[in-house]
Structures are given as structure tokens and as C-alpha cells.
């Protein structure tokens, strides 16, 4: 494991261990950037990392799957489906290959970190009431 990947894994483990985020599983799939609203007025923002993303990045191709900044409300969720054969980091979340990560935000704040699937290499999530 190279130093960059090890650092990203360590960051994700520290944040999860600190109790800042609760990861939820979901098997539903929606198109990239889809926003679903449930009965309680909360929304789920869904994104998909397509197969071949890691290889495209390795070739130097610009890849932008998620926005660099998201504005959410308490109760909203972000779902990222990783269909690639390599794991990715999206802010504080480490997403294994061929898996789905869903995070529901239960408190306001700004959550930021690395993003291996955005040209800037980072993401910032703003959660307001």
C-alpha cells in the first residue's frame, strides 16, 4: 500500500473511530447525482463511481464524479456506489471497491477531506438545519 492510500485509510479510520460519522448500508442504486426526497423532507444525494475510474485517473484523465462542495440539511444523506475495482476516498469516507456507502447527516457542521474522484482532490460538505 502506498503512503497516500495508507494516509487516506488512516484518516477515515480516525474519523469513524471518533464517532463523528455513522455509516449506513444501502443496496439501492440511483443515477449519478440523483437527489431523492423522502416523506420527512430529507434528501438522498446519490453518486456512482463507474468502472475504470482508477485507471482513468492513473492515465491523467480528469475525473469529476462528485461536486467539490455540497450544501445539505440535517437529515439528508449522501450515497456513493463504487462500481470500480479500486477503493476510493470521498471526504472522511473510505469506500471499498464494489460497495455502497450511505451517510445520513444528523448534525450541522462542515465535513471536509480528500476526494480521490474529483480533480481538486478534496471535498467539502456543509450541513445546515
What digits encode the pLDDT tens for the residues 63-86?
Answer: 889 999 999 999 999 999 999 999
Instruction: Give percent of the chain above pLDDT 70.
Output: 69
Report which of 116, 115, 108, 112 is spatially closest to residue 125, judged by C-alpha positions.
Answer: 112
E strands within the chain? 23-24, 34-37, 43-49, 69-73, 77-82, 88-90, 93-95, 99-104, 109-114, 122-128
Q: What is the pTM of this model?
A: 0.68
109: left (phi over 0), alpha (psi -120 to 50) or beta: left
Neighbouring CB atoms inside 10 A of 69's CB total 13
Q: How confident is the model at residue 126 (pLDDT cuts 50, 70, 90)?
A: very high
Let me know: does 80 contact 96? Beta carbons within 8 Å: no
d(CA 55, CA 72) in angstroms, rounded, equals 31
- Enclosing domain of residue 28: 3-128
d(CA 85, CA 98) in angstroms, rounded, equals 7
Cα 70 to chain center, whole Å? Answer: 11
Instruction: Give percent of the chain above pLDDT 90.
Output: 62
Domain count, the chain: 1
Residue 118 belongs to domain with CATH number: 2.60.40
Amino acid at each position: 500500500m502506498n503512503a497516500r492510500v495508507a494516509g487516506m485509510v488512516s484518516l477515515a479510520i480516525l474519523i469513524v473511530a471518533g464517532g463523528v460519522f455513522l455509516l449506513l448500508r444501502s443496496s439501492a442504486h440511483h443515477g449519478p447525482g440523483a437527489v431523492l426526497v423522502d416523506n420527512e423532507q430529507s434528501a438522498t444525494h446519490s453518486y456512482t463511481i463507474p468502472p475504470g475510474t482508477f485507471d482513468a485517473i492513473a492515465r491523467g484523465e480528469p475525473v469529476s464524479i462528485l461536486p467539490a462542495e455540497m450544501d445539505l440539511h440535517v437529515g439528508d444523506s449522501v450515497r456513493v456506489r463504487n462500481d470500480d475495482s479500486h477503493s476510493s476516498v470521498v471526504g472522511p469516507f473510505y469506500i471499498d471497491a464494489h460497495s455502497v456507502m450511505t451517510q445520513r447527516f444528523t448534525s450541522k457542521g462542515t465535513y471536509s477531506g480528500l476526494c480521490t474522484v474529483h480533480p481538486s482532490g478534496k471535498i467539502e460538505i456543509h450541513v445546515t438545519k
